Chains A and B, each alone.
Chain A
Amino acid sequence: EIVLTQSPATLSLSPGERATLSCRASQSVGSSLAWYQQRPGQPPRLLIYDASNRATGIPARFSGSGSGTDFTLTISSLEPEDFAVYYCQQRTNWLLTFGGGTRVEIK
């Protein structure tokens, strides 16, 4: 099983600041990585798939990068609705796994 490790566990930032979230895989997943946002009491929402493709309706302030074992989700300028938990996910060989999440909180 491929283990995904997200860092930091919590990110404390102010609206308008840039957020940089990391996801590291225990072995290479190529570009097979996605990012999701989950607000309290809500199901997750797909933001990025195939490492860098924005999902339908996702604002341009969200961007993804990386390949192999190291990936980054960047939120260029935080909006109030962006304070949430973010998960990465890989899909190798139909053994899908998620990371432990990064909480982005208001500073």
Chain B
Amino acid sequence: QVQLVESGGGVVQPGRSLRLSCAASGFAFSVYGMHWVRQAPGKRLEWVAVIYHDGSNQHYGDSVRGRFTISRDNSKNTMYLQMNSLRAEDTAVYYCVRDLNSGWHDYWGQGSLVIVSS
């Protein structure tokens, strides 16, 4: 069965960096685009970024463009999110999500909590 397991979350000071990882199993990882989607406590879902199946292209949401970088290693079935210059408003649960048909999200991980606080 499809499994997506996020790791790397925690508490970080404003302005610092953090890297999230997502380990995928149960499907042909290299065939699928992958996303990060986040949800601040009690707030709506917010799309963060997508990376194509082969890593050839990426797209970002307006609030993270220029600060966050999405990448993947298909040899390790793993996706990453490098988060730099973190702000309090980046505090959220970050979900690793598999792409369906270029823009839908059919499988979700359980999420990794990132808290940006001094």
Contact = CB atoms under 8 A, between A and B. Distances in A.
Interface residues of B, number: 20
A56 B95 CA distance: 20
Contacts of A49: 100-101, 104
Given A95-B61, A96-B103, A44 B108 contact: yes
Interface stretch (B15-23, B42-50, B72-80): B42-50
Interface string B78-118: 00000000000000000100001111111011110000000
B67 interface: no
A94 B59 contact: yes
Contacts, number: 55
Contacts of B105: 34, 36, 44, 46, 89
Contacts of B50: 94, 96
Contacts of A34: 104-105
A101 interface: yes
Contacts of A82: none
Contact of A97 (B47, B100, B102): B47
A87 interface: yes
Interface in A45-72: 45-46, 49-50, 55-56
A28 to B, nearest CB: 16
Nearest to B93: A43
B111 to A, nearest CB: 6
Nearest to A99: B44
27 contacts: A32-B103, A34-B104, A34-B105, A43-B108, A43-B110, A44-B45, A44-B95, A44-B105, A46-B104, A49-B100, A49-B101, A50-B101, A55-B100, A56-B106, A91-B103, A94-B50, A94-B59, A94-B103, A95-B59, A95-B61, A96-B47, A96-B50, A96-B61, A97-B47, A98-B45, A98-B47, A101-B44
Interface of B: 44-47, 50, 59, 61-62, 95, 100-106, 108-111
